[in-house]
Amino acid sequence: MNQQDVKGIWNQIINNYQILTDDNLQAHLKHQLGTLVQGNVAKANRLLSREQRLHPNHTEQWYLEKVINDLQPGH
């Protein structure tokens, strides 16, 4: 195995780790939002949809973080 093969394998490992990390973060944010809306899925979806209309072209993570921040005390 040459150096380029090793580099390719490491890149794959890093990419796979990033995907897992992103998935875990998404799950955590969704859980946090669910807690803030007391399990009211319809309310969570309405809030996310509103932000998507007001601020198009962002990632799902951005919308989740925005809604969570807006729901927290002091905002």
pLDDT tens across 42-54, in order? 999 999 999 999 9
Instruction: With beta carbons less than 8 A apart as the criterion, state whether 25 and 62 touch.
Output: no
Count other Cβ atoms within 10 Å, centred on residue 14. 10
CA distance 9 to 75: 45
Q: Where are the domains of the chain?
A: 3-71
If we measure between CA atoms, which residue out of 26, 23, 17, 36 comes closest to residue 63? 26
| pLDDT tens readout for residues 29-45 | 999 999 999 999 999 99
